[in-house]
């Protein structure tokens, strides 16, 4: 992995801008979830409803504004946009601090929506600007750093947001934290180098629905880039499925307590980071889809890991009470499930990083932000499909192991599509 560029001005400030943004999002989101669960909700049913609503409120702006944000990022100079977005984050977090202090559900949800809007506008820029600051041979490593650090930021935000806000005076501490992180993100943005000029001739479409349809039509113009979008989005489906079910898996299937849940979340994040590092270390430079066709084997390996994990889960003997980490690790079936979780996440990190690079190199400069926006919309859509899929299977009285078997089967079907479609797109025209 070539890390010579990491501390240079063309990468280091941008790295911290995106890391602090992801960290702050999850810091606030998880503080909100913990407040709802333990203080604001009047019943477990109301807590579940409000938490589900919160997830929908945060993801809604990606459907509404990603295409518009992609157009703006292709029309105007990207570094100036980054600084404006980070400045807006400070203002949003001022309202966030007020919401935390007053514990107003309505204000908390309003701030959550604005955070989603801010993230939807930043998303198309961060991956589109990277090829402008990094050489071709550095791009894969840059994407690896972005992917790995994003999941580390999610993990740290989840832990800190859930822990700090419920301590004595935690609302005040959390309010200060989100403001400080937002200010640090803006400071970092001031050091991001100016990017290439945008396409001044591009007409911005203000009709959001028509804009989204127009941007999604880019899939016909850049088929290899859109292939990468679909493959990346499939992993987001897998990731959303697993991350949403980790508490259920640990408590009901493995008999672990909340600390074991945190262990699984940590292992998943470490696995993504490890896979991203391996991609930068061993993946050859990505020039076309031909360089990433081998990734189909990783999809197959994920299905095998799910199968092994499920078989091990069936061997777990549950104790009368939930067990902590030390007791949990003395049971070999539980350790096997933990290892399969690490493997699934590692294969996922190794799978997505080359695909992000393929998306970038197969989309021309003046369309790149819009194609990243298409990726964000599709990611969000697949995450929603994951939730609907899980709820539907639970409604048909599937248990978690049966749901995971279904996911493994779907994953094999996607692997078949990946192989077949990849062969079609790499054939000489």
- DSSP per residue over 342-365, as a string? HHHHHHHHHHHHHHHHHHHHTS-G
Specify the range with the lowest mean pLDDT, choosing from 145-159, 200-214, 335-349, 365-379: 200-214
Residues 302 and 166 reside in one and the same domain: no
Work out the pLDDT band at 343, boundaries 50, 70, 90.
very high
Residues 225 and 270 reside in one and the same domain: yes
CA distance 248 to 200: 51
* Structural domain includes residue 4: yes
Is residue 229 within 8 Å of 363, Cβ to Cβ? no
CA distance 280 to 282: 6
Residues 177 and 268 reside in one and the same domain: no
166: helix, strand or coil: coil
- Global confidence as pTM: 0.88
Domain count, the chain: 2
**Residue 113: CATH number of its domain:** 1.20.1250.20
* Structural domain includes residue 8: yes
Per-residue pLDDT, 354:
95
Residues 188 and 248 reside in one and the same domain: no
Residues 235 and 333 reside in one and the same domain: yes
Residues 96 and 185 reside in one and the same domain: yes
* Structural domain includes residue 339: yes
pLDDT at 429 over 70: no
Residues 230 and 169 reside in one and the same domain: no
Work out the pLDDT band at 2, boundaries 50, 70, 90.
low
Higher-pLDDT residue of 312 and 220 is 312
* Structural domain includes residue 134: yes
* Structural domain includes residue 49: yes
φ and ψ of 284, to 5 deg: -70, 160
* Structural domain includes residue 42: yes
Q: Average pLDDT over the chain, rounded to whole?
A: 90
300: helix, strand or coil: helix
Residues 346 and 395 reside in one and the same domain: yes
* Structural domain includes residue 168: yes
- Look up the domain containing 253 and give its range: 221-424
pLDDT at 1 over 60: no
Higher-pLDDT residue of 209 and 176 is 176
* Structural domain includes residue 411: yes
């Amino acid at each position: 992995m070539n890390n010579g560029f990491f501390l240079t001005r063309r990468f280091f400030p941008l790295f911290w801008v995106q890391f602090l943004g992801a960290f702050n999002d999850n810091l606030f989101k998880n503080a909100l979830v913990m407040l709802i669960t333990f203080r604001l909700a009047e019943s477990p049913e109301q807590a579940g409803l409000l938490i589900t609503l919160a997830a929908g409120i945060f993801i809604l702006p990606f459907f509404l504004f990603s295409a518009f944000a992609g157009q703006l990022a292709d029309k105007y100079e990207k570094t100036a946009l980054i600084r404006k977005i980070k400045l807006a984050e400070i203002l949003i977090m001022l309202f966030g601090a007020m919401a935390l202090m007053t514990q107003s559900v309505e204000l908390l949800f309003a701030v959550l929506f604005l955070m989603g809007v801010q993230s939807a506008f930043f998303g198309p820029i961060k991956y589109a600007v990277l090829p402008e600051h990094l050489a071709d041979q550095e791009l894969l490593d840059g994407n690896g750093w972005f992917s790995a650090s994003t999941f580390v930021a999610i993990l740290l935000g989840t832990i800190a947001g859930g822990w700090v806000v419920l301590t004595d005076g935690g609302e005040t501490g959390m309010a200060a934290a989100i403001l400080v992180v937002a200010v640090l993100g803006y400071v970092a943005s001031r050091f991001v180098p100016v990017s290439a000029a945008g396409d001044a001739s591009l007409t911005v479409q203000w009709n959001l629905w028509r804009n989204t349809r127009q941007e999604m039509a880019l899939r016909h113009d850049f088929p290899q880039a859109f292939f990468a979008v679909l493959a990346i989005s499939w992993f987001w489906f897998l990731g959303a499925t697993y991350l949403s079910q980790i508490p259920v898996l640990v408590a009901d299937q493995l008999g672990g307590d909340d600390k074991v849940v945190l262990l699984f979340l940590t292992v998943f994040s470490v696995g993504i980071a490890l896979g991203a590092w391996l991609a930068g270390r061993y993946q050859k430079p990505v020039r076309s889809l031909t360089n990433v066709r081998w990734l189909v084997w990783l999809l197959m390996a994920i299905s095998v890991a799910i199968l092994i994990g499920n078989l091990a889960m069936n061997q777990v003997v549950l104790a009368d009470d939930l067990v902590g980490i030390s007791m949990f690790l003395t049971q070999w079936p539980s350790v096997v499930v933990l290892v399969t979780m690490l493997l699934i996440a590692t294969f996922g990190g190794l799978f997505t990083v080359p695909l992000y690079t393929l998306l970038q190199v197969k989309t021309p400069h003046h369309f790149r932000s819009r194609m990243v926006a298409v990726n964000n919309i599709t990611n969000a859509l697949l995450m929603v499909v994951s939730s609907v899929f899980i709820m539907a299977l639970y409604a048909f009285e599937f248990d978690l192991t049966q749901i995971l078997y279904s996911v493994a089967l779907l994953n094999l079907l996607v692997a078949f599509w990946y192989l077949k479609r990849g062969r079609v797109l790499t054939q000489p025209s």
